[in-house]
Amino acid sequence: MENIKLNIEKTLDFIAKDKLASYEEKVRACMETLEKGTGLGNDFLGWLHLPSSITKEHLADLKAAAQTLRENCEVVVVAGIGGSYLGARAVIEALSDSFAWLKEKKAGNPTIIFAGHNISEDYLYELTTFLKDKKFGVINISKSGTTTETALAFRLLKKQCEEQRGKETARKVIVAVTDAKKGAARTTADKEGYTSFIIPDNVGGRFSVLTPVGLLPIAVAGYDIEKLVAGACEMEKVCANGNLHENPSALYAATRNELYREGKKIEILVNFHPKLHYFMEWWKQLFGESEGKDHKGIYPSSVDFTTDLHSMGQWIQQGERSIFETVVSIETPNHELHFPSDEENLDGLNFLAGKRIDEVNKMAELGTQLAHVDGGVPNLHVSVPTLNEYYLGELIYFFEKACGISGYLLEVNPFNQPGVEAYKKNMFALLNKPGYEKESEAIQARLKK
Amino acid sequence: MENIKLNIEKTLDFIAKDKLASYEEKVRACMETLEKGTGLGNDFLGWLHLPSSITKEHLADLKAAAQTLRENCEVVVVAGIGGSYLGARAVIEALSDSFAWLKEKKAGNPTIIFAGHNISEDYLYELTTFLKDKKFGVINISKSGTTTETALAFRLLKKQCEEQRGKETARKVIVAVTDAKKGAARTTADKEGYTSFIIPDNVGGRFSVLTPVGLLPIAVAGYDIEKLVAGACEMEKVCANGNLHENPSALYAATRNELYREGKKIEILVNFHPKLHYFMEWWKQLFGESEGKDHKGIYPSSVDFTTDLHSMGQWIQQGERSIFETVVSIETPNHELHFPSDEENLDGLNFLAGKRIDEVNKMAELGTQLAHVDGGVPNLHVSVPTLNEYYLGELIYFFEKACGISGYLLEVNPFNQPGVEAYKKNMFALLNKPGYEKESEAIQARLKK
């Protein structure tokens, strides 16, 4: 079976070839630091050999829990934020029918809804209203159980589920994905007797899609988590290669770091396949949160082409030359549709008649690559044979490993996120959370100025 | 009635106050250039006094056409891309129930689906499959009728609509929004006898949401286009003021240009209200396509908070100090939901009990503003009384006028988009489009190298 492939040829006009060669040794050193666990953030390296350590029994447990939810729910609300949200959503949306939401769902194949990822009163009002006549279940994903967004939604949803379906059924259709021992979500799960799964201590949120955090919702949505893990396993092997040009993760990490040094401050992740939209959001967290610190880091951005060629395309073609693009390209679509001929040909499109739609899309992709490279935008290209669980697994591990290496090349700790606490601390102070009395006083004084 | 308000106080630690004052005169000159039509791109100033020139009769015509579609369709497909897509989607999504798509729709209040904005074979296959048992109509939005993405989808949809509903009904439920006289979509509309509306020659795509391009789909979705236009009219008046500090469009344009000069290369448009997601996409096209040229221009990016505080938040707080934020804040939600108390309080959230969810959201917003400003991110704040048609109209015109002024301050032509043609030309050459024989030969030779 073919693997995903990285092509950096269209960056070579922008970076000196010997520059890239100079990364050979650096990359090998970063990989060794990861393997030996001797670098910054070494408490959070559980993702590194996660794929190959997942057992059949673990997957069977996840599938059994998923099956219970599938059989007993018309709707399953996945409550989580950040790393407890984006991985599952990325995979589910990539694999779902574009119009799945418009199709009637029922117990057996429930609709997946995401919540606990915002504090929007309208969103939560409309969610609880929508759920009023639904047989719904909840997956509560939170390491601590006190992340405001998720805890807030979960309190509302637990109450509603118990009221609508009775305490006993609620216990069956609420599942917790949380810490093994501590925290509010663990306490609640144990007390209520929920089925629960563990978020390992050594896997950070943005690297957690192959833990139950991602695997359970993906299984509930009806997708094959064994294949997903198998793809990740394959990449775990491929990306262990110490040779820069035989290891796509290493090559990607080196290339983007060199581009960054050359003044390319923004990386735009590109798809020509709208279902990858949330995969790009997952990628933005992975790289943004890992590298955006110490006043450093490439700014991660993303576009859905050709849609956004008609919005961001102008900027990309002719704006500041501070960007590069990484295209995630799907070689073969899952469906086949040929463009029909038309006798009158008023739209002048008969030159496309008989072609597959994807052939046009691919020429848009190639045409865009050439145009943007001509315009001064280096282009990396990740080729994916087709969009299924296996290759999403490959993509996930490819980017995770690349991120670990890339962060070490940049000389930051890629596994912490100290900056995320700043707004929370202010918010708690403003809301007079117990324990924040001093901060409350200070912030109120500041606001009065 | 209150208007939307701009507050730039939290940028003043980052730009010298006298610097802003120096824009007084420049801004007035730009506004005069716009009014007199003496600047670059002066063929495309139709948006400037568009709101006040829209007649009751025009709105009545639009509403009548919308009513025909609403009564005769379960689904209406809006086919368009770029400016013929984002404006309508921005307004419709901002006003819709978060779970509207999951609710059963029927003739009388049809589901709105967007198409013609990508070349995805899977998307079009799944769309045409989904529509197979639906009474659907189409709004075909294209100035020329030959924009590849939209023309491709429209050929498929027209054929399917005629086959499923019969030629006669199809004529009633297909509406064209296109050029007054020329182009493929005009020819087809006249030949088939479709109801049609005109895209004025002097309004560019990204400024066209208040033409039938946006107004018709918005009316079909059941929203009040009179209120939308009324809001825009109000801002047309407010933003005619020549005094920098009394004209929010002028002040926004001046502030962001000065921040750009100071090295703030990326503007992040922020919402704390997920329904505004597509409004931010509309804004990205408006500013990106208007300013991203001549190797200049702020890179427009957007985030949905608090969701993305858990993905991009780290970068924003501690990454390169090359960014500023503009928050679009909604003062009052449309629904009311109070956070319940819980006897056991395992999640420790009883300090929020009895509060409205929005109160928590507002403290997240304020806490984030303080944290990001402390971290070196200048913050602009646009306050919107509530999310309805009227204030969306205000926001639309506010940003359009600001964009015109801002582009002139940057000394680019804000009304062209020459860079968008580059990928199209290559694509046509690669697809052997008639008339591109020379380009085909050249590009094939290039690829063989």
Percent of chain A topping pLDDT 70:
99
Distance CA A230, CA B216 (A): 49
Q: Which of residues 13-32 of A touch B (CB under 8 A)?
A: none
Q: Is the dihedral of CA B61, B386, A118, B11 positive or negative?
A: positive
pLDDT in tens, B63-72: 999 999 999 9
Go through A269-298 and write b for each residue having 16 or more CB atoms within 10 A of its CB, e for each that does not.
Answer: bbbbbbbbbbbbbbbbbbbbbbbbbeeebb
Q: What is the pLDDT of residue B160?
A: 98
Pairs of residues, one from chain A and one from chain B, whose beta carbons lie less than 8 Å apart: 452
Q: Which of residues 64-83 of A touch B (CB under 8 A)?
A: 81-83
- Report the run of H or E that residue A120 belongs to, with start and end: none
DSSP assignment of B193-240 equals: T-EEEE--TTS-GGG-TTSHHHHHHHHHTT--HHHHHHHHHHHHHHTT
For B14, phi then psi, to 5°, come to -110, -20
- Among A103, A119, A328, A432, the strongest candidate for a mutation testing the B interface, having the largest count of B CBs within 10 A, is A119
pLDDT in tens, B324-360: 999 999 999 999 999 999 999 999 999 999 999 999 9
Judging by beta carbons within 10 Å of its beta carbon (0-12, 13-18, 19+), is residue B2 exposed, middle or buried?
exposed
pLDDT in tens, A393-447: 999 999 999 999 999 999 999 999 999 999 999 999 999 999 999 999 999 999 9
Residue A214 has pLDDT above 70, yes or no: yes
Backbone dihedral region for residue A166 (phi beyond 0: left; psi -120 to 50: alpha; all else: beta): left
Three-point CA angle B310, B302, A293, nearest 5°:
50
Return the DSSP state at B340: P
Region of poorest pLDDT, from A289-303, B15-29, B211-225: B15-29
Nearest CB among B118, B152, B423 relative to A367 is that of B423
Three-point CA angle B251, B224, B209, nearest 5°:
50
Residues of A in contact with B361 (CB under 8 A): 118-121
DSSP assignment of A225-282 equals: HHHHHHHHHHHHHHTT--SGGG-HHHHHHHHHHHHHHTT--EEEEEESSGGGHHHHHH
Nearest CB among A146, A307, A319 relative to B347 is that of A146
Judged by a CB distance cut-off of 8 A, whether residue B310 touches chain A is: yes
Mean pLDDT, residues A201-215 taken together:
98
Measure in Å the smallest separation between the Cα of B60 and chain A Cα atoms.
30
Residue among A260, A306, A290 nearest A412 (CA): A290
Sheet holding A5-7, edge to edge: A5-7, A379-386, A323-332, A266-271, A299-304
Q: In terms of pTM, does the model score above 0.95?
A: yes
Return the DSSP state at A338: B
Contact A443 B347 (CB under 8 A): no
Q: What is the pLDDT of residue B297?
A: 98
Percent of chain B topping pLDDT 70:
99
pLDDT in tens, B358-377: 999 999 999 999 999 999 99
Residue among B152, B435, B296, B293 nearest A306 (CA): B152
Q: At what angle do helices B86-95 and B212-220 cross, to 10 degrees?
A: 30
Instruction: Tally Cβ neighbours within 10 Å of residue A445.
Output: 9
For B48, phi then psi, to 5°, come to -60, -45
Residues of A in contact with B372 (CB under 8 A): 422-423
DSSP assignment of A374-439 equals: HTT--EEEEEEEESSHHHHHHHHHHHHHHHHHHHHHTTS-TT--GGGHHHHHHHHHHTT-TT-HHH
Query: Catalytic positions of A, please?
Result: 289, 424
Distance CA A121, CA A126 (A): 8
Nearest CA in chain B to A275: B123
Answer yes or no: are the C-beta atoms of A247 and A241 closer than 8 Å: yes
- Report the run of H or E that residue A360 belongs to, with start and end: helix A357-374
Q: At what angle do helices A148-173 and B357-374 cross, to 10 degrees?
A: 140
Q: What is the pLDDT of residue B104?
A: 67
Answer yes or no: are the C-beta atoms of B46 and B200 closer than 8 Å: yes
Contact B123 A274 (CB under 8 A): yes
Distance CA B396, CA B89 (A): 13
Nearest CB among B272, B337, B351 relative to A124 is that of B337
Percent of chain A topping pLDDT 90:
97
Between the alpha carbon of residue A397 and those of residues A27, A144, A259, A297, the distances in Å are 17, 25, 22, 21
Contact B423 A309 (CB under 8 A): yes
pLDDT in tens, A237-274: 999 999 999 999 999 999 999 999 999 999 999 999 99
Residues of B in contact with A318 (CB under 8 A): 292-295, 418-419
Residue among A90, A97, A160, A101 nearest A125 (CA): A160
Residue among B177, B180, B160 nearest B169 (CA): B160
Go through A111-133 and write b for each residue having 16 or more CB atoms within 10 A of its CB, e for each that does not.
Answer: bbbbbbbbbbbbbbbbbbebbee
Nearest CA in chain A to B329: A120
3-state secondary structure A157-194: HHHHHHHHHHHHHHHHHEEEEECCCCCHHHHHHHHHCC
Judged by a CB distance cut-off of 8 A, whether residue B60 touches chain A is: no
Judged by a CB distance cut-off of 8 A, whether residue A442 touches chain B is: no
Residue A164 has pLDDT above 90, yes or no: yes
Residue A18 has pLDDT above 90, yes or no: no
Residue A104 has pLDDT above 90, yes or no: no
Q: Cis (ω within 30 of 0) for the bond into B368?
A: no
Residue among A99, A132, A101, A98 nearest A114 (CA): A101
Measure in Å the smallest separation between the Cα of A35 and chain B Cα atoms.
26
Mean pLDDT, residues A370-382 taken together:
98
Residue B180 has pLDDT above 90, yes or no: yes
Q: What is the pLDDT of residue B203?
A: 98
Mean pLDDT, residues B270-295 taken together:
98
Q: What is the pLDDT of residue A17?
A: 76
Answer yes or no: are the C-beta atoms of A220 and A1 closer than 8 Å: no
Judged by a CB distance cut-off of 8 A, whether residue A277 touches chain B is: no
Answer yes or no: are the C-beta atoms of A442 and A429 closer than 8 Å: yes
Residue B103 has pLDDT above 80, yes or no: no
Residue B166 has pLDDT above 90, yes or no: yes
Measure in Å the smallest separation between the Cα of A398 and chain B Cα atoms.
19
> Which residues, in sequence order, are CB contacts of B329 under 8 Å at separation 6+?
B271, B272, B365, B381, B382, B383, B384
Nearest CB among B127, B430, B434 relative to A366 is that of B430
- Among B112, B134, B295, B346, the strongest candidate for a mutation testing the A interface, having the largest count of A CBs within 10 A, is B346
Contact A420 B372 (CB under 8 A): no
Distance CA A374, CA A385 (A): 27
Residue B409 has pLDDT above 90, yes or no: yes
Q: Which of residues 321-350 of A touch B (CB under 8 A)?
A: 321-323, 333-337, 339-340, 342, 346-349
Judging by beta carbons within 10 Å of its beta carbon (0-12, 13-18, 19+), is residue A372 exposed, middle or buried?
buried
Q: Which of residues 132-191 of B touch A (CB under 8 A)?
A: 145-146, 148-149, 151-152, 154-156, 159, 184-185, 187-188, 191
- Among A93, A96, A106, A118, the strongest candidate for a mutation testing the B interface, having the largest count of B CBs within 10 A, is A118
Would strands B379-386 and B5-7 be described as parallel, antiparallel, or unpaired? antiparallel
pLDDT in tens, A281-292: 999 999 999 999
Q: What is the pLDDT of residue B77?
A: 98
Q: Domains (ranges, CATH) in chain B?
A: 5-40+231-409 (3.40.50.10490), 50-228 (3.40.50.10490), 423-448 (no CATH)
Q: Which of residues 185-244 of A touch B (CB under 8 A)?
A: 185, 187-188, 191, 205-206
Sheet holding B323-332, edge to edge: B5-7, B379-386, B323-332, B266-271, B299-304
Distance CA B352, CA B341 (A): 8
